[in-house]
């Protein structure tokens, strides 16, 4: 049963897979889920990382899985869970079902976590092989936003990004056959208007 009103929405960015003590359901939920029981929280937004445009920690068929050695974190239980036939989103859904919480699949659009120190850009084949589609370089950064965002005003890059923005619909169709959840909220970290060529800013 879904709540009539979303009184408290808990937004979980999915770092559980890097920070929990182990790969069991109990160890995973102890970090960020167990404390929600009986608190009045009604809704969880769970984002299985969704970093660098197409990198995830759940068992995805429309992206790629973040593997060991790809982040600054010492632990990553995502590959272990997937090898056992489950994943972090399965755990999240199980907890929410047990405690009658609504759950949403969170998805970052044109994410730029790979501009910092936490994620290695070399693991993102799209960005590594097509640096011309990024807003800048580590040495030549854009005026606004992070340099690893895709430049939406470069023709080919805009098509790629639009395809990724359409992915939630395709993901929903696939995941609806795999999980039962509420919806996919999407958000973007890249400010495309701020980096638009000056002559095009006035166009509607």
Q: What is the pLDDT of residues 175-191, one digit of tens each?
A: 444 444 555 555 555 54
pLDDT average, residue stretch 8-28: 92
pLDDT number for residue 88: 94
Phi, psi of 194 (to 5 degrees): -70, -25
Evaluate whether residue 33 is within a structural domain.
yes
How many domains, in total, are found in the chain? 1
CA distance 120 to 44: 28
pTM for the model: 0.75
Question: Could you report the per-residue pLDDT of 125-155, keeping only the tens digit for each?
Answer: 778 888 888 888 888 988 888 888 887 676 5
Evaluate whether residue 201 is within a structural domain.
no
Evaluate whether residue 49 is within a structural domain.
yes
Which distant-in-sequence residues (6+ apart) come within 8 Å of 180 by Cβ?
A: 93
pLDDT number for residue 183: 52
Evaluate whether residue 97 is within a structural domain.
yes
| Confidence label for 79 from pLDDT (cuts 50, 70 and 90) | very high
Q: Are residues 191 and 112 in contact, defined by beta-carbon separation less than 8 angstroms?
A: no
Evaluate whether residue 107 is within a structural domain.
yes
The range of the structural domain enclosing residue 112 comes to 9-121+167-191
Q: Tell me the Ramachandran region of residue 85: left when phi exceeds 0, alpha when psi lies from -120 to 50, beta otherwise.
A: left
């Amino acid at each position: 049963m879904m709540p009539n009103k979303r009184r408290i929405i808990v937004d979980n960015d999915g770092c559980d897979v890097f920070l929990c003590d182990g790969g069991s359901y109990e160890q995973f939920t102890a970090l960020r889920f167990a404390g929600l029981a009986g608190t009045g929280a009604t809704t969880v937004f769970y984002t299985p990382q969704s970093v660098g445009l197409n990198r995830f920690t759940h068992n995805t068929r429309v992206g790629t899985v973040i593997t060991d050695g790809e982040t600054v974190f010492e632990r990553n239980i995502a590959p272990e869970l997937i090898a056992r036939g489950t994943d972090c989103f399965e755990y999240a859904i199980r907890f929410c079902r047990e405690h009658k919480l609504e759950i949403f699949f969170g998805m970052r659009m044109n994410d730029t976590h790979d501009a910092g120190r936490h994620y290695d850009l070399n693991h993102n084949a799209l960005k590594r092989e097509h640096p011309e589609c990024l807003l800048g370089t580590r040495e030549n950064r854009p005026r606004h936003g992070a340099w690893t965002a895709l430049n939406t005003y470069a023709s080919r890059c805009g098509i790629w990004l639009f395809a990724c923005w359409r992915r939630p619909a395709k993901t929903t169709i696939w995941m609806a056959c795999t999980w039962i959840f509420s919806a996919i909220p999407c958000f973007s970290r890249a400010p495309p208007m701020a980096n638009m060529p000056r002559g095009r800013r006035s166009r509607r």
